[in-house]
Structure 1
Amino acid sequence: MFKHLSKLSHHAAWRRQLELLLDSTGEGIYGIDLKGRCVFINKAGAEMLGYSADEVLGRNMHYLMHHSYANNDLMPVCQCQIFRAFQENKGCRVDNEVLWRRDGSCFHAEYASYPIFEEQAVVGAVVTFTDITERVEAQNIRAAAQVELERRVVERTAQLQKAHDRMRRLSAHLTTVREEERTRIAREMHDDLGAKLTAFDLELKALSYRCANDEKLTLRIESMLDLAQGAMESLRRILSDLRPGVLDHLGLWAAVEHLLGEFSQRTNVVSSLDIAPALEHVRLSKATETALYRILQEALNNVSKHSGANKVEVRVHTEGRAVVFQVKDNGRGMAVRTFNAGFGLMGIEERAWDIGARCSIDSILGQGVCIKLRLPEVLAL
């Protein structure tokens, strides 16, 4: 049928049937012989290129409509996928090139080329093409919108991160200011109120010695001495909560041991402290020791108020140059979804962040809570 393809296309009856068939579609369709010359083209294809069908017939289609890339660089025939398709006896489909009109403008096109066989030999190719400019423009608009959206997301994320960092710095500053204020108040209470209570106690003891013969007065003085001793004990406890002197003078580990002892005495919860021998004489920075002490205070407060535990273990060990500080109880535990419900746990996480520690809070209902802090690169090489 295609042995004399170029001549056959000019046969009036055959050409009329072919035109009726091809003009019924909105896609551009044309056929070429082995030399790339057009042997037929439908009306839609010719109009898409800005020609009439008769003006296209017999012309080399590569040089007519597919001669250059979108950037106007010339496309050699050997790189033309339409020609390569039938030369390699296979079809192809392309949607990322342009075709050129009569007026020198180009349009984004999607085309497919398939070889025409006659007696198992390729005698030409049939090509279908469609103007996809609107689709490409829509894709470009979507891509631009996506880029703009991503830019705004990055910008907004940076703004939120900046605000978050500012809030974290503010939190750290407030924590430092609060500790300094606690230290100042504790010092003033110790120097002023502590001295007065001590003097009051001494005066009562002297008065008790002088009134030893008056039994009633002696009993009242002894009652006042008991009140004075109670006031001094309360003062010592308040001073310890505000700023424990043992933390400043003897270091974190002595302060932790003292705190656990007071906690066990007050709550009847058995406590234990396990410190790696390599850390017994190690002093951390003042801010780090203060933060770990306050974290332990908050953890013990949660144990006494919420856990129902009868045992608390504090373990401090090393992992390379890192120090791991762990507080574990055997209480009722809590569900994961409640981790962020309390300000106490949030405070623990914020204090850990302030000193550059990684904080994890793990719990299983009925199996207690484990708070672990890992301080990286703390120990010297």
Structure 2
Amino acid sequence: MKTLSGRLDQEAPLPVVLVGAGKVAHAAHLRELRDLRNVLRLVAVVEDAPERVSALREEGFPDIVVAGDLDRAVAAGARAALVCTPWWTHREVVLACLARGLPVLCEKPVSLDLAEIDELAAAERAAGVPVAAAYMKRHDPVVGLFVAHCRDRLAAGRRLAVDVHDPNAPHQVAHLLPYDPPPFGPQPPPAREALERALGPAADEGQREAYARGLGGSLVHQINIVHAVLDGGPGLHGTLLHADRWAGGDSVSCRWRPTEDLVVDAGHARLPAHRRYREVLEFTAEDSVATLTLPSPYARDESATLRVETWDAAGSVGTVRTITAEPGHTGFRRQLVAWAGSLRHDAGPPLPGLADVRRDTRVLYEAALRLA
């Protein structure tokens, strides 16, 4: 870390500012920050809504400084920023953080506009502090084992499939919020304007909606996992075979063929009547099938499960192995710990950054423009 980080106590908790105390902050980050006070110290919040600030104080942060802007947050001691504002505000917020020398962990999607991502990358280089993307699934140890398994067998891989059943409805997080969750509805005007800039005026409303939600709002996580599997080899860009949407745009699917022998299928279905979120990634190789099942990202009482089935046709012998992680140690929690460690001690591998964001976004941008 540079600039402001040079004054950090390397053994003390990392002092951070939360920018935006909305749904994802209350449903995920704040409950982890309460348990990680020895790792991160929340010193300030930038938030305009009084009810959200009041809820934050009641949820275990009574002495937090309510900062009208980032300068006040820096004066309060913040040395890094956790950005949880709506996605269409990320460019402005992240640029403001970088201008003040604050490293950033930004919720996804960091941006859906390739030009904005390039602008952020240039600002990141100029500031000399990193922007990390909140791909929290990458911090789940079971996801890591799945990626390693797929990489080891990539040459024999034939299909990598992603299937997401997502309520994407208020009831999914209502029990985690101290106020009524916002209703699912049309994108607000600033978001629609951002989507038109990102996709261009030729894209229709259905393409823009699918890009913001099923593709960029959800499948961006799984495309990042697929790219982790393909790391060092061909990516998905330029290999799209088809992209479809149906059910009024609530469902999308895409197929890529990154190599002669491997296809990648990914689908997201918004199913508001479903009570539970369901996500499955399955990698089929010549001699094995690995099935990764992930619970709701907001669940603490469930964990990822990896089931690996292998067989030897000649010997007629097969094996089945099931791996789970300890509940409660969520991707959100491990991500925050990894972020703090990377900034204080340069410990461990770097978090996914803007290069990853651009690679994933470029793939979904191409898919959005091809949607039937």
Shorter-chain TM-score range: under 0.3
| TM-score for the superposition, normalised by structure 1 | 0.22
Structure exhibiting the larger radius of gyration computed from Cα positions: 1
Structure with the larger RCO, 1 or 2 (CA within 8 Å, 6+ apart)? 2
| TM-score for the superposition, normalised by structure 2 | 0.23
